[in-house]
Amino acid sequence: MKFLLEPIDVAQRNGLPTIICWRGGAYDVEQVLDRWSARGPWWGSDEQRRYLLLITTSGVMEIFHSSISGWMLSRIFD
Amino acid sequence: MFGSLHTRSHFSFLDGASCVETLVEVAAGLGHHALAITDVNGVYAAVRHQRACRRAGIKPLIGIDLKLTHASASALDISVLACNAEGYRAICRLSSRLHESTSMTLQQMQQADALGHVISGDCVVILHTLSATPQDTAAALADLRQMYGQSLYAGIAHDGRPWALRRMRAMVCLAREQQVPIVVAQDVRYARRDDYAVHDLMVCIREGITIHDPHPLRPVHDRHCLRSQAELRELIPYPEAFDNVEHIIAQCSFDLLPEHITPPSARVPDGVTSGELLRTMCTAMFDRRYGRSLPQTRARAQQLLEHELGVIAQLELSDFFLVVHEVVQHARQRGIRCSGRGSAANSVVAYVLGITGVCPVEHHLLFERFLHRGRKGTPDIDVDFDSERRGEVLMWMEERFGLQQTAMTATIITYRIRMAIRDAAKALGWPEETVRALSKSVPGYTNNSVETYRHELAGVVGNVPMLEILIRAASLLLDHPRHLGQHSGGMVLSSKPLEMLTPVQRSANGVAVVQFDKDDVEAMGLVKFDVLGLRMLACISECLELIQRHTGTAPDVDDLPLDDAQTFETIRSGRTLGVFQIESQGQIHLLAKHQPERFSDLVTEVALFRPGPLQGGMVHPYIARRRGQQPVTYPHPDLEPILADTLGIVLFQEQVLEIAHHFAGMTLEDADDFRSLVSKNRNRDLMASMRDRFVQGACRRGVDLASAEKVYEMVSHFVGYGFCRSHAAAFAKIVYQSAWLKTHHTAAYMAAFMQHRPGMYNLMTLEEECRRWNVPVYLCDVMCSGLRYDIEYDAAGRVAIRKPLTAIRSVSESVARQIVWERARAPFISVEDLVQRLPDVPRDTLECIAIAGAMQALEPDARRAAWIVGVVRQRMSAAASAEETLFALPALHADDVPPLPPLRAQERLAYDYIMQGAARVHPMTLYRRSMMSLEIRTIETISRLSPDARLQVTVAGIVILRQAPPTARGMLFITLEDESGFLQCAVPPAVRESFRQELRSSALILRGTLHGIGSWRSIMVSDVRILTRVIGGYHGHLSYAGGMDTLEVGQDPVLTVIP
């Protein structure tokens, strides 16, 4: 498992990601394994994050959508 | 059908962030068909929930969240939902048991369900996803399945945290293995996502952490809100779990709000109904009240009695009246003084039964303000009891009606601004000192927003970024319940065991309390009887006992002629310090203007000084009309019969009701609703609609539009808290009684008053008042003081007050009892003798007694007495621990006490304050010469000056009261006291702002313009100095007590010890 925090492009259908574009590659999303959310301190930035755990053609990826920084790749699993 | 089955409201006390009404509104908006409220360990929200659901058209489910301990050492989170009335009863019992112990096991839960309602399908049990291992979860599920069978469900939820789906799947697998059906049970803690912030803040407050501290219970997201079925179906891929939600909703059907009341059971003989018994008793007791009345009064009373009995019978309240009568009767038999107050005094039945003490016919009291055929719920009957003996009444009631059938009403303690600032500041991590300063910078009670006090808060912490967060956080907390409290006197009496209707829990002082407040109790059809404690009644009782004991006979204050000239002279002259309700400076001022001459004036006096009439601007017109400075006019001739006795001004709630009924043509029920709405003035839309109804109703009766609108405007000014005439009349009776006793039995009354302290003044002021009334106050004395204030007659027959031993700081009742007990054996002959005979009394306490001057009969010099105490006690300790030879030594040698200087005046004064809270001479006497040099006059001198000249005067004194009532629009009222009297000083807002710091001082010099009317004087302050900054440094002046003053600059032992 690698911790990353890199911006990615995400193609979506019905609010769910279908293709992940990262470091020049494009990876199809095969299955959504899990989803959860997180929110920053209410007295601070108040950032909202929506996490998704996906099976892609490149393996398992944990991505999130932040109300501040957009789509990010947070972790990949071997 | 869908609905949330696991929802906590803010009645989970810091574990839920939304009120029930909002939760229901949002649930209905999301298309839910039902909503279960499952608060932690209680059903506090049940009544409001049911009402809100009725309004929104969705089904209410009542439940409870429990945390049980399990053999696997895991905590089980369980919700129990009531399917029917029996299920609700089981929940009530469970909740009651939960409050008896700190934790509950599965077995204990089963025992609490003695009748097996949970098992038999009257309840649904939902086990929520565990954070424990799969093995533990499996074990818990197996145990629960064995206990609850078909009633058990496994709750599954998408908790919004990482690996939520994996946990959900694990729970589903375990449930399927154990053949337990699954059901969607999302953990909802608030209605909308934005409420996440207040939820997080509440968790921090509850756990005692700051918002910067990590904690596993703190939310990491905002998804504990209500969500639509569609959204949840996307997250929870188990359709059968949704089907089971529908199944449970269909299964649960229970109405908590009955259409009938559950009265307490009165003692009614066989073959007679309670209505018949009530009628028989009223008939039998009628002559006792009206035997000596005028024929027309008697006839009118008879007519009203018939009418009232009819209404009472129709509303099924006969039992209630019989029970209240029984309680009052019992209290009187035991010599416990009591007096009915509030709207119950409008009732002839209550008067005839002796529950209230003022005649509704003579005082034109309106029964409909108390009770009418359209009244929903039970009426309030409030009875004041001698505060010292109220506990006896409560104990007797528990015994008489059964422990299972009686409990106190709860009060929901909600966040007010000061507590909100305090808790929020703590959660933001400010140190305790800053937290205290922040909370003190805002008023205790206000309806203003937190933002209003930005300036005051910034005065403590500066304009820092955290201030914004504090204001936001405190605003979020406002109005949310913080904890459950106990009503001051509302006792619920029921013929059925209360656990069938509500859980009962114990308050911190061990009193049984239901989980609902007074409104909810009424909505549930339960009957509440207000058993209130009134210290003034204790004072009157004690005063009468003192008179009886010392003179052999006591007056019957309940049967006094209400026209005693001397009593009214006391009242008119404003010498009313210590008199019930009319002792405040504002009331004394009003007395000077109002000049009451008869009992009905006292009723008006009591009613005038309330926020309603004060804010409605009714006081000044009334006074002007009474003094003949303004003509008595009526906005419409129809109002003359209603307002004639209050000179055309609306002063009483009954008048609002009568105007709505007679003038606007409303039914009595509607008129009472109108009266209630106008008094509270809470809902603008409702007020607007009522205005239309009022005006249209009046116009239909032939009143022209302009007059109708004018009358409405006049009536609608009656906002805020105002008295009903009956309540004012009941209080006026106590006003008259206390004024009569003060006038004719001053020493006994003031002794009783100082014993019970029902008023607003400190002990020093009360002792000064005694001296002004030529009643000496004798010091505590080990040779004759007891445990209570007493009166003594000297050889010349002059009466004085003797202070009790317990007036000395650190002398407990137990110590005082030891002294009295030992003295009863034989009088003490010396300090040495006293110390030796009281070996169990601590040395410090004996020294306090000595220094307070209470041993002066044995040793006139207090310092010497204290020295002897020390020496004797030292010898006694040595003798107890050493050889027998020492034992034979005398406790005090002649040369043990060296020559000691007597106490100086300042020392005496300081010790008096420290030891007894009051000095034998007023502190200002020590400064008088210095002040005379500065042209500072005594208050008595100022009282003799004519106010007409608008003189500039300067006064100095100790601050005994500091008040800034919301009705005074920023004005601060300071009452200064010196050795000659007291004076109210009004500080306008601008002066208050200029001298903010100085005005906090406990001793002041104030300069301003003299105002007054009659014997009343006050000054409008324009300049302020702190007393100790002006005087001082008078080393070498002649001392009050002889000798020389040794006060140094900056050293003021006297004033710094004043509490």
Q: Express each pLDDT in B259-274 by its tens digit.
A: 677 778 889 999 999 9
pLDDT of A40 above 90: no
- Global pTM reads 0.83
Beta strands in B123-247 (DSSP E): 123-127, 152-156, 182-184
Contact A51/B at CB under 8 A: yes
**CB of B738 within 8 A of CB of B579?**
yes
pLDDT single digits (tens) B498-528: 988 899 998 887 889 999 999 899 888 888 8
pLDDT band for position B80 (cuts 50, 70, 90): very high
pLDDT single digits (tens) B975-1024: 999 989 999 999 999 999 999 888 988 889 999 999 998 889 999 999 99
CATH 3.40.50.1220 fits B923-1056, yes or no: no
Mean pLDDT in residue range B371-397: 86
pLDDT band for position B1044 (cuts 50, 70, 90): very low
pLDDT single digits (tens) B52-68: 999 999 999 999 999 88
User: Is the CB of A39 less than 8 angstroms away from the CB of B221?
Assistant: yes
Chain A residue numbers with beta carbons less than 8 Å from the beta carbon of B164 are 34-36
Tokens of B101: 């112990």
Return the percentage of chain B with pLDDT > 70, whole number.
Answer: 95
Give the separation between CA B789 and CA B452, rounded to whole angstroms: 47
The CA distance from A43 to the nearest CA of chain B, in Å, is 6
Among chain B residues, the shortest Cα distance to A39 is held by: B221
pLDDT of B315 above 70: yes
> Which segment of B307-321, B792-806, B1044-1058 scores lowest on mean pLDDT?
B1044-1058
Give the separation between CA B1059 and CA B1051, rounded to whole angstroms: 17
Helix boundaries (H) for B552-639: 565-572, 585-594, 599-608, 611-615, 619-626
The minimal CB distance from B160 to the residues A33, A37, A41 is found for A37
Q: Higher confidence at residue A10 or residue B903?
A: A10
Q: Higher confidence at residue B612 or residue B460?
A: B460
User: Is the CB of B200 less than 8 angstroms away from the CB of A42?
Assistant: yes
Mutation test of the interface with chain B: which of A14, A42, A47, choosing the one with the most B Cβ atoms within 10 A?
Answer: A42
Contact A32/B at CB under 8 A: no
Mean pLDDT in residue range B876-903: 75
pLDDT of residue B860: 92
pLDDT of residue B552: 93
pLDDT band for position B35 (cuts 50, 70, 90): very high
pLDDT single digits (tens) B717-775: 776 667 888 889 999 999 999 999 999 999 999 999 999 999 999 999 999 999 999 99
User: Is the CB of A37 less than 8 angstroms away from the CB of B222?
Assistant: yes
Give the separation between CA B62 and CA B45, rounded to whole angstroms: 9
pLDDT of residue B162: 82
> Which segment of B20-34, B117-131, B540-554 scores lowest on mean pLDDT?
B117-131
Distance of CA B674 to the CA centre of its chain: 27
Give the separation between CA B868 and CA A77, rounded to whole angstroms: 87
User: Is the CB of B162 less than 8 angstroms away from the CB of A51?
Assistant: yes
Chain B residue numbers with beta carbons less than 8 Å from the beta carbon of A43 are 197, 211, 469, 472-473
User: Is the CB of B472 less than 8 angstroms away from the CB of A35?
Assistant: no
The CA distance from B428 to the nearest CA of chain A, in Å, is 10
User: B1033, B985, B1034: which is closest to B1005 by C-alpha?
Assistant: B985
Return the percentage of chain B with pLDDT > 90, whole number.
Answer: 62
pLDDT band for position B653 (cuts 50, 70, 90): confident
pLDDT band for position B1059 (cuts 50, 70, 90): very low
Mutation test of the interface with chain A: which of B159, B161, B204, choosing the one with the most A Cβ atoms within 10 A?
Answer: B161
pLDDT of residue B766: 95
pLDDT of residue B922: 87
How far lies B662's CA from each of B640, B647, B652, B669, B726, in Å? 11, 18, 16, 13, 20
The CA distance from A2 to the nearest CA of chain B, in Å, is 17
Tokens of B1026: 């702190």
Mutation test of the interface with chain A: which of B222, B233, B464, B472, choosing the one with the most A Cβ atoms within 10 A?
Answer: B222
Provide CB contacts within 8 A for B72, sequence distance 6+. B132, B135, B136, B139, B140
User: Is the CB of A36 less than 8 angstroms away from the CB of B161?
Assistant: yes
> Which segment of B61-75, B279-293, B1015-1029 scores lowest on mean pLDDT?
B61-75
How many Cβ atoms are within 10 Å of B816's Cβ, its own excluded? 23
The minimal CB distance from B160 to the residues A36, A43, A53 is found for A36
**What string of DSSP letters covers B1014-1045?**
TTEEEEEEEEEEEHHHHS---TTSBPTTSSB-
Of A40-49, B356-365, B563-572, B936-945, give the range with the top mean pLDDT.
B563-572
pLDDT of residue B882: 65
User: Is the CB of A34 less than 8 angstroms away from the CB of B165?
Assistant: yes
pLDDT single digits (tens) B937-953: 899 999 889 988 889 99
For B761-916, CATH gives 1.10.150
SS3 B238: coil
Q: Is B489 exposed, middle or buried (0-12, 13-18, 19+ CB in 10 A)?
A: buried
SS3 B273: coil
Instruction: Please count the residue pairs, one from chain A and one from chain B, whose beta carbons lie less than 8 angstroms apart.
Output: 40
User: Is the CB of B220 less than 8 angstroms away from the CB of A48?
Assistant: no
pLDDT of residue B549: 94
Mutation test of the interface with chain B: which of A3, A35, A43, A61, choosing the one with the most B Cβ atoms within 10 A?
Answer: A43
User: B202, B64, B84: which is closest to B505 by C-alpha?
Assistant: B64
pLDDT of residue B500: 87
Identify residues of B whose CB sits under 8 angstroms from chain A CBs. Answer: 159-166, 196-197, 200-201, 211, 219-223, 235, 469, 472-473
pLDDT of B483 above 80: yes
Provide CB contacts within 8 A for B1056, sequence distance 6+. none
Give the separation between CA A37 and CA A56, rounded to whole angstroms: 20
Contact A77/B at CB under 8 A: no
Mean pLDDT in residue range B348-355: 94
pLDDT single digits (tens) B837-849: 999 999 999 999 9
> Starting at the edge strand that comes first in sequence, how are the strands of the sheet with A25-39 ordered?
A2-7, A70-77, A59-66, A48-56, A25-39, A16-22, A9-13
pLDDT band for position B883 (cuts 50, 70, 90): low
Q: Higher confidence at residue B280 or residue B76?
A: B280
pLDDT of B1043 above 70: no
pLDDT of residue B888: 59
pLDDT band for position B1035 (cuts 50, 70, 90): very low
> Which segment of A58-62, B380-384, B426-430, B883-887 scores lowest on mean pLDDT?
B883-887
pLDDT of residue B964: 86
The CA distance from B231 to the nearest CA of chain A, in Å, is 12
pLDDT of residue B349: 95
Chain B residue numbers with beta carbons less than 8 Å from the beta carbon of A36 are 159-164, 221
What does R_g of chain B's alpha carbons equal in angstroms? 34
pLDDT of residue B137: 80
What does R_g of chain A's alpha carbons equal in angstroms? 12
- Output the average pLDDT for chain B: 89
User: Is the CB of A37 less than 8 angstroms away from the CB of B162?
Assistant: no
Contact A15/B at CB under 8 A: no
Provide CB contacts within 8 A for B1022, sequence distance 6+. B991, B1007, B1008, B1009
Chain A residue numbers with beta carbons less than 8 Å from the beta carbon of B162 are 34, 36, 51, 53
Element (H, E) at B544: helix B535-551
CATH 3.40.30.10 fits B3-195+203-251, yes or no: no
pLDDT band for position B1051 (cuts 50, 70, 90): very low
User: Is the CB of A39 less than 8 angstroms away from the CB of B469?
Assistant: no
User: Is the CB of B220 less than 8 angstroms away from the CB of A38?
Assistant: yes
Provide CB contacts within 8 A for A33, sequence distance 6+. A53, A54, A55, A60, B165
Chain A residue numbers with beta carbons less than 8 Å from the beta carbon of B161 are 36
pLDDT of B625 above 60: yes
pLDDT band for position B1031 (cuts 50, 70, 90): low
**CB of B170 within 8 A of CB of B159?**
no
DSSP state of B104: E
User: Is the CB of B196 less than 8 angstroms away from the CB of A34?
Assistant: no
| Complex-level ipTM | 0.82
pLDDT band for position B1056 (cuts 50, 70, 90): very low
